[in-house]
Chain A
Amino acid sequence: MTRDEVRQAVVNILADIAPDEDVSSIKDDVTLREQMDLDSMDFLDIVMELRKRFNVEVPESDYQQLVSMASCIQYLQPLLKDRQLAS
């Protein structure tokens, strides 16, 4: 997966866990919590979707890596580089 594809993968997950939210305008450098009102239940869902879709395990100690889109991409790209973005 390229950087853009990793970003798209995260956007897809966010769109699924927050059906009422506009995910097209997410800013990469602002925390997700601030932009989308995410709480700990949502972060659990992001982690579980990553496991379900890409078989990637995010240990609890790494949850803070998911705080913004930019940090998500940075953290996930090495883990996802050999995976395909499902259409």
Chain B
Amino acid sequence: MKYDVIIIGSGLSGLAAGIRLAMFNKKVLIVEKHTVVGGLNSFYTRKHRMIDVGLHAMTNYAPKGARNTPLGKLLKQLRFSHDDFRLHEQEMSEIRFPDKCLRFTNDFELLKQEVREQFPDEIDGFMRLVARMESFDELSLTTSEWTSARDILAGYISDPVLIDMLFCPLMYYGNASERDMDFYQFVIMFKSIFMEGFAKPVGGMHYILNLMVDRYKSLGGELRMGAEVQSINSAKGVFESLTLADGGQLKADAVISSMGRIETFKRCEPALAKEVSSESSAGQVSFMESLFALDQEPKDLGYDRSIVFFCTGDRFRYEVPKDLIDISSGVLCCPNNFKYPEPLTEGMIRLTNLASFGLWDALPRRDYIDAKKEWRTRALENLFTFFPDFRDSVVFLDSFTPKTILKYTGHLNGAVYGSPVKAKDGTTPIRNLFICGTDQGFLGIVGATLSGISMANLHILQKKVAPDA
């Protein structure tokens, strides 16, 4: 049997591409190596708790009816109503540095006002930067040269603290490069976090993923779990078949892969794999994440923000740490502090820190478990020099590291945002093999979903001539 399209991976980008294709009667199969859908944004169950792996918040919040926004486009392309996603907005978030703090909500005016008050000398430059970003087409699918966001910001803002404070959330939530950011990506993240904002769905990622899987299947899409792609076989630059780890062979007219660009090429013929891995490097940025279930609401413990991006040192460094993790900056997320109609059943705080894949990977099994505990404790101790201590209220905790991310998603180095080199148009040296998701260049939940949609539209649905197979 031959499919029109096979999609590798059932993360958000793969599911979104699948829905688009099935909607227009393509014969589609999604193959997923894991036993659960969702990829980087999946969920798991421990001690009767359903835990979201990735979700802190969905970025790009837009109200119902705002159709020409990323969220609006996503909903209409997948034919969901805004209500289907059951989104509830954040209360208030904050960027907290040793001497300054900037609060923001989904109303961009607050951030402007905060910059005006905290950095009066910088507000004019900040507003000019905003104007430049407003007229920037960050969603273009043509790759342009890497442009340093630091260089551009330097033309508008002179206080390094404000620059660090702006970078902190944008990097944590969507930067594959260390230290600097490609300007288009800076603009995407700036708009999605500061100008649009955060929301969470009732029922978490589990709910959204179910919604997408149900839609995909009801349109006739097939989903095969526990099916790992071992090799992508091509001849003369044309894809021919996939070989699965169990030896099975699958044929299709085209393949869309969401496993990552280098990860995909590594499964192609050796010559191609080599050529591509020498031209671009795998991503390095990864995180350790700890979650703490609490016997009270975070608010009662002094945590009243939705999300806090913090830095406790004098400079914010977004790079692979010299230790297992970098405790001097991080993200704190309180899922309870969103405007839900009903309070969540349990208090929860999540803490994210930058982590080194190489160092975690080098630890023997026994030390690995001890190190998780040790570094979680260190991260908390540093945190509690600035924030209230919540240790006495913890009823359940769990942590995962870059190794966990590699194990469950296959992204090399556990690089959450993939390779710093993006393939924005999704093409590869193999004519009918395309890349979507993380390494196409739209990141995060909304970004990955839009990536799947755009690649399915561009390479399959809008194709005027059918591939001559």
CB of A44 within 8 A of CB of B65, answer: no
Which among A17, A18, A39, A48 is the interface contact of B461 at CB below 8 angstroms?
A: A48
Instruction: Write the B40-75 contact mask toward A (1 if CB under 8 angstroms, else 0).
Output: 000000000000000000000000110110000101
CB of A39 within 8 A of CB of B457, answer: no
Please classify the interface of chain A as helix (H, G, I), strand (E, B), loop, or mixed, using the class held by over half of its residues: helix
- Interface positions, chain A 34-86, Cβ under 8 Å from B, are 36-37, 39, 41-42, 44-45, 48, 51-52
Distance of A9 Cα from B88 Cα, bound (Å): 35
> Whole-angstrom distance from the CB of A35 to the nearest CB of chain B?
12
Contact-residue bracket for chain B: 10 to 19
CB of B68 within 8 A of CB of A37, answer: yes
Contacts of A48 in B (CB 8 A): 24, 461
Distance of A67 Cα from B221 Cα, bound (Å): 32
Distance of A42 Cα from B79 Cα, bound (Å): 11
CB of A20 within 8 A of CB of B75, answer: yes
Q: How many cross-chain pairs have Cβ atoms below 8 Å apart between A and B?
A: 38
- Interface positions, chain B 448-469, Cβ under 8 Å from A, are 457, 461-462
CB of B67 within 8 A of CB of A37, answer: yes
Contacts of A28 in B (CB 8 A): none
CB of B457 within 8 A of CB of A41, answer: yes
Chain A interface (Cβ < 8 Å from any Cβ of B): 16-21, 36-37, 39, 41-42, 44-45, 48, 51-52
Distance of A24 Cα from B73 Cα, bound (Å): 21
Which among B24, B77, B82, B457 is the interface contact of A52 at CB below 8 angstroms?
A: B24
> Whole-angstrom distance from the CB of B447 to the nearest CB of chain A?
16
Contacts beyond the supplied A20-B67, A36-B67, A44-B457: 4 A-B pairs with Cβ under 8 Å = A41-B77, A44-B461, A45-B77, A48-B24
CB of A17 within 8 A of CB of B457, answer: no
Which among A42, A51, A52 is the interface contact of B76 at CB below 8 angstroms?
A: A42
Q: Does B280 contact A (CB under 8 A)?
A: no
Contacts of B77 in A (CB 8 A): 41, 45
CB of B461 within 8 A of CB of A19, answer: no
Distance of A45 Cα from B77 Cα, bound (Å): 8
Contacts of B67 in A (CB 8 A): 18, 20-21, 36-37, 39
